[in-house]
Homo-oligomer: A and B are copies of this chain.
Amino acid sequence: MKIAVLGSGMVGRTLAIDLVAQHDVTSFDASEYALELLKSKSTAVKTLKADLSAYSAYKQLLEPFDLIVTAVPGFIGYNTLEAVIEAGKNVIDISFFPEDALQLNSLAKKKNVTAIVDCGVAPGVSNLIIGRYNKIMKIESFECYVGGLPKIRKKPFEYKAPFSPIDVIEEYTRPARLKENGQIVIKPALSEIELMDFDDVGTLEAFNTDGLRSILFTMAHIPNLKEKTLRYPGHADLMIVLQKGGFFSNESIRFKQAEIIPLEYTSAVLIKEWKLQPSEEEFTVMKVIVKGNMNNTPKTIEYTMLDRFDVGTQTSSMSRTTGYTCTAMVNAFAEGLFNEIGVFPPELVGNNENCFNYILDYLKQRNVNWIKKEY
């Protein structure tokens, strides 16, 4: 297939390099530097500098391609996806934008295209799992625990992010929607901190964040849904201190003739402590627990994944776990395993057993191993 990858950031680069083994791949980015870095890692991927916010040019720009992969920054993600669909192209998306992708469903149907969104790890694999088991059991509860963490623990925060602190802080302040006993409830981010043990990692803490996204609506019949973020123990309490101390506030403070928003300046301060360096080892840890009844018998399905920075190729676990899920979906689509028309979050793909197994096998070949327990 002829594939266009829009966006050559950390994840976009990783998935282009993976896809070029089987496809004709062209990566787009506005940044010369990002494209040069990609070329230095793979001569097979073609690159093209382009202003990806020039949506009116998409029709012509994307004309030669069979499939588009969108891996742009979240804040332009929705508009990018809309422009790709408008251009009449099938698309697999991993941009994680805040808007509701299902709003584009009727446009996708009109344009006769397939758009699969949120194709990462969480959202992504967690959605595939709930979709898969929703088909074969009566699910009572779904729990997802996920975190990306640095190998080296440096006090006080014991945390590093491959993106701006402001995006992480946004997760720490946006109220978390979850579902309890059939009701959607809203709890503060960083609430209900609990300790959990993970094999080969040790004890982490889990706390509420707003990560369920489309599942809240597509799985509205499941009475209990929650997603929690994982960090080294103590991190959430420190974030609560900064929040209560006013450092995450969106209300500007008058300071030396300027209006400065604490959240923005805090992000500028924290970047020194939080910036994940390119060769800094990190890992992704995740656990999904589905409970319910299968053939009228109580059943628990547990999937766990622990993936580490690839020292050989200097590829972050964050890129591996999200990027390879996306490329798995691309190949599942390329092989015709999924061909419905419209916009689909992964839970609506995962109900297809072949797709589900294909994606987990694909990840396993890249050493991203999802371990299943059933009891």
Contact = CB atoms under 8 A, between A and B. Distances in A.
Interface of A: 155-157, 238, 240-242, 244-247, 249, 253, 255-256, 258, 260, 262, 264-266, 268-270, 272-273
Contacts of A255: 260, 264-265, 268
Q: Count identical subunits in the complex.
A: 2
Nearest to A255: B268
Nearest to A156: B241
B246 A269 contact: yes
Contact of A253 (B155, B156, B244, B268): B268
Given A245-B269, A246-B269, A256-B264, 13 more contacts: A156-B244, A157-B241, A242-B245, A245-B270, A245-B273, A246-B270, A246-B273, A247-B247, A253-B265, A253-B269, A255-B260, A256-B258, A260-B265
17 contacts: A155-B244, A157-B245, A238-B241, A241-B241, A244-B273, A245-B270, A245-B273, A246-B269, A246-B272, A247-B266, A247-B269, A249-B269, A253-B265, A253-B269, A256-B264, A260-B265, A265-B265
Given A155-B244, A156-B244, A241-B156, A262 B258 contact: no
Contacts of A249: 269
A48 B242 CA distance: 44
A269 B262 contact: yes
Contacts of A155: 244
Contacts of A264: 255-256
A272 B253 CA distance: 10
4 A-B pairs with least C-beta separation: A156-B241, A246-B269, A255-B268, A156-B244
A249 B258 CA distance: 20
A96 B273 CA distance: 35
A273 B248 CA distance: 13
A258 B259 CA distance: 11
